[in-house]
Structure 1
Amino acid sequence: MAYILKRRVDYKANQSVLAVSLPVLITDKGILVSHLRFLYTKRNKSQSWLERNVFAVEQLLKFMNAHSSTFTSATELLRSFVDVLCFGSIDDSQNDPSNLYWSPRKVEDVNVLLSHINCYCDYLDEIYGYDLPNLNPLRKATRAEERMRWCAYYKRESNCFLNHLSNPSKNRFEMIRSIQGPMNHLLSIESVNRFPEEHFQRFLKYGFLNHRTREVDFGCVLIVMLMHYGGLRLSECFHIYIRDITIDVKNSTAIFSVFHPSDGASPELGFSNRREYLNTRFRQKPRNEYQRSHRLYSGWKQPLLTNKNLSFDVMIFPNNKAKELAWLLEQYLAVRITGNHPYLFTNSNGDPESKKNFIQKYKRGVERIGLDAGKCFGTSPHSHRHSYGYSLNQAGFNQLEIQKAMHHKSNFSCLVYLKPNDTDIRNIMRKNDI
């Protein structure tokens, strides 16, 4: 009986390198070794990327098992696979002869899955040769398609600092995929949701207040302040060490630095980077290298690093909030429970605070002040980063200044945080109403 299982293994490419923990797909014929080797070549990708790639290939294998004798070519099989992803496998009578019972997926999701499969198939082509049957072969592009791909190329290259050194082949975009996913919808989301400013101070005051003991969870408040007035992503807060904070005695402010979780400079001499420091001192890994299900996992979005030690300093805005952060840090450190780790934020046992635990406390805090918790309401942790970018724009900072303050690699990435919502536009219309 055909089956597909997903497990994790410690994989060694050869005897001279360390083992790497990777997800693996196991079929009734054994381990899908080529995919495991492919994942090893992509081991520096995020855990989210690896998991998504495994899921894409797993879905394709399930589809192949369900239709093992239906298709005459691999290309026809993949085309049907994309159709089933788009429209589902259940007919109008709610029957499914394939027994997959897949529901239709969003256009964006289909394209992501197909891109992962293409990436894996290209790896197979490199290893085994292009003369073998190709699951998604290249075909001659039309003139219009070729032009559009050149437009996309030059738009992408214009964002590169050394684009004048790039000299692409004229034939580079004459070939495109025979099978492509559906066209993504052009969507301008009304609300790049910011935390409602009129409720923010009340949230800080009462959201993390224990009504029984009247004690404030200063750690949670500090995280929220770093996101709202420093623009940090939630995941970045959990990579901060205590020793990443310096005090500016002259201005009575605290300077928070965020280091690359593995390659950033060690806080102690004698270690090449933070990965070595964590392993030697605490027998831990950088938090972005754990599985997503691990309580210590915290992602890393590859922000723009601005210091040679592979870090960036948090830029507090408005500036008067820097002193409040320093005072809040002092209150938090006075009650912080110490544990055997370097991280700033800890739980009640002294272990590193987890994202999951904070998100639960955050949700309760939002509901405690009478608001609904959720991204669509502007009351998710990430909404504070949106508030930060929008406040910089409202204060007159230009696009490049906002890019650096928010640590984006592209000066276009911050535009999503600066878009006015429908309410802003209506207010402008009312002001200009004659």
Structure 2
Amino acid sequence: MSYVIKRQVNYKAHKSAVTFQFPALFTEKGVLISHLRFLYTKRNKSQSWLERNCFAIELLLKFINNQTLSYQSATELLRAFVDALCFGTVENEQDPTGLYWRPRKSEDVNVLLGHITSYCDYLDEVHGEGLPKLNPMRKATHAEERLRWCAYYRRHSRCFLNHLNKPSAKELSYVRGVNGPERHLLSVESVYRFPEEYFNRLFNDGFKSSCGHQDYASQLIVMLMHYGGLRLSECFQIYVNDISIDPKTGAALVSVFHPSDGKAPETGFNNRRDYLATKFRLSPRNEYPRNHRLHAGWKQPLLTNRNLSFEVMFFPAHKAIEFTLLLQKYLSLRVNGHHPFLFSNSRGDAETKKNFIQKHSNAVTRIGLITAKSQGTTCHGHRHSYGYRLREYGFNQLEIQKAMHHKSPDSCLAYIRPTDEEVRQRMRCI
């Protein structure tokens, strides 16, 4: 009987190599070792990327196992697979494949197809031209070639040192034989931010411990997001030693380091990966699987210091002083554990994203709101509030980019772009 099962495995490329943990696919014939080797070549990718790639290959294998039709080529099979993703497998309440897939969004289909194509290209490189190509290249039409050139110039127009990357005419004159659905051109009206009129209530009344005391750790995390613009995952990369105090103003100076390559807080270590492994027998938190309690992602923000870090820019600036006062209260009660991270739970273990997200949801409910992305009441809504606040106080695009540590100036356009209501209001005034 055919089956596909996903499990986490430890993988070593050779005897002297470091052990990595990857998601692996098992079939009735054993582990799909070629995919594990492919993931090893992509080991520097994020855990989210590795998981998504594994999911894409899992879907393809399940589709192949449940096929009742025969296809003349591997490319035709892939095209049928893309159709199944786009339109689902159920027709007239019947599904001969037994998959019962529902239609997926165009963006999702393109991402999954990209993962499959990347894996198949790896197989082509390893095995040469002997195997039939699943998604071969074909000569692009004139319109397709023009669109590829337009996309190239748009993508590289603001890329640093873009003059070093010049594709050949031949490179952009070929396209894939199988493509996903056309991407929709979307102008997002706005991103949802936490409502400012409720923030003080959330901060003062929302975060309470089980015995009714203030939860200082959660308040500090919310301050880092709401007044410092950090992503939630970045808060859990901060060490106790990453914070210093300005002796003149008393303001907190918070640095966020790259979780693995950043400079270690003590001498004698090559980087933070070396420091965590040697002193605490831990891995960088972005390298744990997503289902591990210590997992905290890393979105590759713009690093501004040679030690591979960036500094949190509190706004309004006086919030950095309030952060210092709250930090002193927290550290006086903090339960120390065998880890360097700033935030610990009541047992001394490193605090987790999952636990804080639940605390934040409980706090939102406690003040009479519901947790919903559309309401801006999720954790990420605080970062959006930070971006909007900078815009409201007249910061320009490049300044907002620096404050929010975006690599591209265009990433902060969501905070600068006028909303539909603002455009209508201006029309009414003319």
Q: TM-score range by the shorter chain?
A: over 0.9
Q: Does the Cα contact within 8 Å between 2:188 and 2:414 map onto a contact in 1?
A: no
Q: Paired residue for 1:175?
A: 174
1:16-415 superposed matches below 5 A: 16-67=16-67, 69-92=69-92, 94-130=93-129, 132-210=131-209, 213-415=211-413
Tell me if structure 2 keeps the 8 A contact 1:230–1:317.
yes
Amino acid at match of 1:394: E
Return the alpha-carbon distance in structure 2 between the equivalents of residues 125 and 238 of structure 1.
40
Distance 1:351 1:195 in 2: 29
**How far has the Cα of 1:423 moved from its partner?**
4.2
Change (3 A) 1:76 1:216: same
CA distance in 2, matches of 1:316, 1:150: 41
Contact 2:397/2:416 (<8 A) preserved: no
- What's the CA shift string for 1:172-229, capped at 9, x where partnerless? 111001111111222333341011111111111111135x744110111111111011
**Contact conserved, 1:192 with 1:419, CA < 8 A, in 2?**
no
Match of 1:85, as an amino acid?
A: L
RMSD: 1.5
Q: 2:15 matched to 1:8?
A: no
Distance 1:214 1:102 in 2: 47
Shift of the alpha carbon at 1:159?
Answer: 2.1
Q: Distance in 1 between matches of 2:260 and 2:164?
A: 30
Asked if structure 2 preserves the Cα contact closer than 8 Å seen for 1:194 and 1:386, the reply is: yes
**In structure 2, the residue corresponding to 1:371 is in which secondary structure?**
coil
8 Å CA contact retained: 2:190, 2:415? no
Contact residue 68 and residue 97 of structure 2 kept, 8 A: no
Partner residue of 1:421 out of 405, 419, 422 = 419
| Residues 12, 18 of structure 1: 8 Å contact kept | yes
Whole-angstrom CA distance in 1 between matches of 2:29 and 2:388: 54
TM-score by length of 2: 0.97
Tell me the SS of whatever aligns to 1:412: helix
Q: Which amino acid aligns with 1:151?
A: C
Using the TM superposition, name which of 263-272 and 392-401 deviates more.
392-401
CA distance in 2 between counterparts of 1:112 and 1:339 reads 40
Contact 2:39 2:50 in 1 (8 A): yes
| 1:399 Cα offset (Å) | 1.1
Q: Structure 1 pair 345/148, CA: closer, same or farther in 2 (3 Å)? A: same
Give the CA deviation at 1:162. Answer: 1.1
| Identity within the alignment, % | 62
The more displaced of 277-286 and 182-191 is 182-191
Kindly tell me the number of residue pairs found equivalent between the two proteins. 430
Cα distance in structure 2, aligned partners of 1:349 and 1:18 = 31
Residues 369/420 of structure 1: CA separation in 2 closer, same or farther (3 Å cut) = farther
Question: What code does the residue aligned with 1:56 have?
Answer: A
Q: Residue type matched to 1:275 in 2?
A: R
Whole-angstrom distance in 1 between the partners of 2:50 and 2:289: 10
* Structure 2 SS opposite 1:413: helix
Q: Can you list the C-alpha shifts for 1:49-85, whole angstroms capped at 9, x where unaligned?
A: 0000000001000111111652121111011100111
Measure the CA separation in 1 of the matches of 2:233 and 2:423: 32
Rounded Cα–Cα distance in structure 2 between residues aligned with 1:410 and 1:341: 34
Alpha-carbon distance between aligned partners in 2 of 1:22 and 1:306, rounded to the nearest angstrom: 31
Q: Is the Cα–Cα contact under 8 Å of residues 192 and 421 in structure 1 kept in the other structure?
A: no
User: Match of 1:13, as an amino acid?
Assistant: A
Alignment partners' CA distance in 2, 1:203 and 1:174: 55
Q: Give the distance between the partners of 2:129 and 2:394, measured in 1 at CA.
A: 54
**In 2, distance between residues paired with 1:20 and 1:357?**
26
Give the whole-Å Cα distance in 2 for the aligned partners of 1:323 and 1:132.
64
**1:253/1:113 CA distance change after superposition, 3 Å:** same
Runs of at least 5 residues in structure 1 that lack an aligned partner in the other structure: none
